[in-house]
Chains A and B, each alone.
Chain A
Amino acid sequence: MKTRRLLGIAAVAITMAFATTMASAQALNSGAQTIALNATLAESLTLSLSANSVNFTLAAGSATNAGSANITATTAWVLKPGRTAVGVYAYFTSATAALTDGAGDNIPSSAFYIADNAGASTALTTSAPFGAANAGLQLANVSITGTNKSASRTDVMAFNINLSGGTLPQLPANTYTGTLNIQAQATP
């Protein structure tokens, strides 16, 4: 009888110990801490050139005075939604004096020609978004769709100075210098 009682007490003790162990196994969670994420893909439009100088050996009155080297313009862009086109332009800051000898004798932009990607040679006689009136040329116009919001293009430019027109056959012998600018614009 005594033994039975002892066994009963032991059973109760084991059960209590097991219950305590079960209570200790339940997960303890902290409060949730949030991290705000902000990723910005900036809009960009860049243009780089393979070289930045061209020389010409002129022959008086000649229509063909090729530049010493072609130059490749690489235009790269990452654009926001809503952009519809990227234009690449070449221009001078003066239509009448694209190149000058500094003594009043000038070569106008209308005598300066660019052939883009082996296309037809075209004078800089239009008004671009940059530069002087009638001193520009749009080299390219790329329509932006859903598939080329991040893309690039290359324009290989060959240059020529035409001295056959107007008073240019009488251009005095001298050294003529000027700066041609290449620039891209994304619209709207």
Chain B
Amino acid sequence: MSAQTKLGRIAAVLALMIAALATRVDAQVRNSGASPIALQAVLSQSLSVTLSSSSVNFTLQAGNANNPGSVSVTAKTVWALNNTIGLVSLYAFFANSTAALTDGAGYNIPSSDFQISDNGGGFTALTGSAPFGGANAGLRLGTTFIFGNNVGSRTDAMTFNINLSGLPNLPPGTYTGTLTLQAQAI
């Protein structure tokens, strides 16, 4: 093989290598810079109570312990809470323990004679101190512990009674008042 032929072959091999290298360079992908978008999503805390009805009537019998309300009322408590919340409680209360209902003429039915049965339980008078309302004029209907149920709800079906056995001398009249339901998450 002549020196000229050898040189020719070497040149051919070099040319092929250069071509292959060029192809590999071209084969590399080209990327743009990454463009970031900052995302912020806010899930706000919420706690609400809705009632199936907002009025209850009672037909009273003097001195009678059983004077049920005309309808049951269902309270639905719904929450979306953060991880620092441990429990949700629902309370019923009056603003005044001595005059839960009044005839406006000085005669009153105290909260201690107003009773609620929650979800079929026993009737209980509103004599406790709730976070809301008057002293000794409240009742905690229920408590739900928050363990992994940061988003949830509870239902309380309430039936009502006015016990007049301790008020046998209550004068005939129309007695009105406002019972308030409110939830608290702590």
Contacts and interface: CB of A to CB of B under 8 A. Distances in A.
Interface string A60-85: 11000100000101010001111100
A183 interface: yes
Given A60-B151, A171-B151, A47 B32 contact: yes
Best-surrounded residue of B30, B42, B149 (most CB of chain A within 10 A): B30
Nearest to A47: B32
B83 A105 contact: yes
A5 B43 CA distance: 126
Contact of A53 (B30, B38, B83): B38
A55 B151 contact: no
Contacts of B152: 170
Interface string A164-188: 0000011111111111111111111
A45 interface: yes
Q: Interface size bucket, A side? A: 35 or more
Interface in A9-63: 43, 45-49, 51-61
A103 interface: yes
B172 interface: no
A99 interface: yes
Interface string A139-177: 000000000000000000001010100000111111111
Nearest to A61: B151
B33 interface: yes
Nearest to B47: A173
A173 B35 contact: no
B39 A170 contact: no
Contacts of B40: 53-56, 175-177
A80 B83 contact: no
B41 A65 contact: yes
A98 B38 CA distance: 11
Interface string B33-72: 1111111111111100000000000000000000000000
Given A172-B83, A173-B82, A182 B39 contact: no
Contacts of B35: 47-49, 52, 73, 181-183
Contacts of A71: 37
Contact of A183 (B33, B38, B149): B33
Interface of A: 43, 45-49, 51-61, 65, 71, 73, 75, 79-83, 98-99, 103, 105, 107, 129-130, 159, 161, 163, 169-188
5 contacts: A45-B31, A46-B32, A171-B151, A172-B82, A182-B36
